[in-house]
Structure 1
Amino acid sequence: MGLKKSLVLIIAVLLVDQISKVYIKTNFVLGESIEVFSWFKILFIENSGAAWGAKLSDFLPVSEPIGKLILTVFRLFAVAGIGYWLFDTIKKQTSKVLILAVSLIFAGALGNIIDSVFYGVVFNDSYQQVATAFSAEPYGSLFYGKVVDMLYFPMIDTTWPDWVPGLGGKDFRFFEPVFNIADMAISTGVGILIVFNKQAFSKIDEKEEDATVEVQTSEKE
């Protein structure tokens, strides 16, 4: 998998991700949902924090705005690092599996950082209203945007049996997190690296072995 195919994949993921987010943002009120199937809903939420909606201010003694800024800057550095990793894997002609996985991770990370950096100055608030793009009253500022999530799969929505200690009678829902296309790309890329680990890093291992053999041969000579 070369640079051109990698770029096509990244652009395709970004287009689908951003088109879906802009559509949801400009057609749904925050919290609004549509049931597609009993186990799949389109549910519009906004995530101002990290994974699972966590905020840096929940763990560190910083204000929520400062925590949000730190998180966005960290994401920018992370995207730059992943981008360099992708460039390096393509340059070294590593396995197609590795390039595919890193391309998906990079596309997903870039898709979410677009929300975090720009959405605060592009859209107005979605609370009790449908947002508009390029609003005269944006809901935030640069670096203070919120990530748009909409894919919800409550495949199991029930209550715990009364006989279960500590949980009896309480709601049980699986799968509860709400996510987006960018999150799917990241998860798929990470999943590929885990499941196909040997195939992903096989060429790297082979090159390291060849280099070791060459060094040993030169030392003997």
Structure 2
Amino acid sequence: MSLKKATLLILLILIIDQVSKIYIKTNFILGDGFDVFSWFKIHFVENEGMAWGAKIPGEYGKLLLTLFRLVAIVGIGYWLYTSVKNFGSRLLIVAISFIFAGAMGNIIDSVFYGIIFNDSHSQVASLFPPEGGYGTLFHGKVVDMLYFPLWEGVLPEWVPFWGGTYFTFFDPVFNIADSAITVGVCLLIFFNKRAFPKSQEDELDGKASETTA
């Protein structure tokens, strides 16, 4: 698979991701949404930190997280470039392209959204508001909106630890970029042998042997 095709795939995912985020950000108040089905909802939330809402504490936690993402995307980009250059399998290049696009999509939010949007609390945000954004460069919040509460209800009393409590499966809210990263990682895990053909494994083993010799 050529680098051109990989780039087109990345751009397609990025466009879908950013169009969906900009639409949600400029049409909904934080916390609003609607039901597509009983098990699939659009629910607008913003993530200030990592996956699952985790945060790096401290005044510079958000900045450190964004800088880490920027370093990571450089590494993923280099991995993609070398995989194409070394004629890696199509599955491998597709998987890395998905991961790269997903990471880049969330980086755009983290780097730029603080300066191009005003906040979404009790109002619908505007793109490029005249009064300025809700934050500064590198301090944007990631827009999430995909919510799949596949099952909601009170767990039976016999369930250890959580018996008798109200439970939702699947509770996290995520976005297209998160989905792309998940798809890429799953492709590498579940189709590992196709992503890394035997010839590539032998080549890696040979290099390892030369290093230890």
Q: TM-score by structure 2 length? A: 0.93
**Structure 1 residues 160-169 or 82-91, which shifts more?**
160-169
Partner of 2:196: helix, strand, or coil? helix
User: What is the number of residues matched between the two proteins?
Assistant: 208
The aligned residue for residue 205 of structure 1 is 201
Q: 1:111 and 1:27 mapped to 2: Cα distance? A: 20
SS at match of 1:142: coil
Q: Using the alignment, how far apart are the partners of 1:21 and 1:212 within structure 2?
A: 44
1:1-221 equivalence runs, <5 A = 1-57=1-57, 63=58, 65-135=59-129, 136-202=131-197, 203-208=199-204
Partner Cα separation in structure 1 for residue 139 and residue 204 of structure 2: 43
1:76-114 deviation digits (Å, cap 9, x = unpaired): 000111001100100111111110100100000000000
Letter in 1 for 2:67: V
> Partner amino acid for 1:40?
F
- Determine the C-alpha separation between the residues in 2 that align with 1:50 and 1:208: 33
Unaligned runs of 5+ in 2: none
Shift of 1:161: 1.5
Amino acid at match of 1:5: K
How far, CA to CA, are the matches of 1:185 and 1:125 in structure 2? Answer: 26
Aligned equivalents of 1:165, 1:87: Cα separation in 2: 48
Deviates more, 1:158-167 or 1:46-55: 158-167
Deviation at 1:211, TM superposition (A): 7.1
Q: Percent of aligned positions with the same letter in both sequences?
A: 58
Paired with 2:194 and 2:174, the residues of 1 have a C-alpha distance of 28
Structure showing greater radius of gyration is 1
What's the CA shift string for 1:40-63, capped at 9, x where partnerless? 000000001011000011xxxxx2
Please state how far the C-alpha of 1:164 moved relative to its aligned partner: 3.2
Question: How far 1:165 sits from its partner (Å)?
Answer: 4.4
C-alpha root-mean-square deviation of aligned residues, in Å?
1.7
Between stretches 155-164 and 183-192, larger displacement belongs to: 155-164
Q: Using structure 1 for the length normalisation, give the TM-score.
A: 0.90
Partner Cα separation in structure 1 for residue 139 and residue 179 of structure 2 = 23
Structure 1: where are the runs of 5+ without partners? 58-62, 216-221
How has the CA–CA distance of structure 1 residues 212 and 120 changed in structure 2, closer, same or farther, with 3 Å as cutoff? closer
Per the alignment, residue 60 of structure 1 pairs with none
CA contact (8 A) 2:116 2:132 kept: no
CA shift digits 1:121-164 (9 cap, x unpaired): 00000001000000123100000000000000000011111343
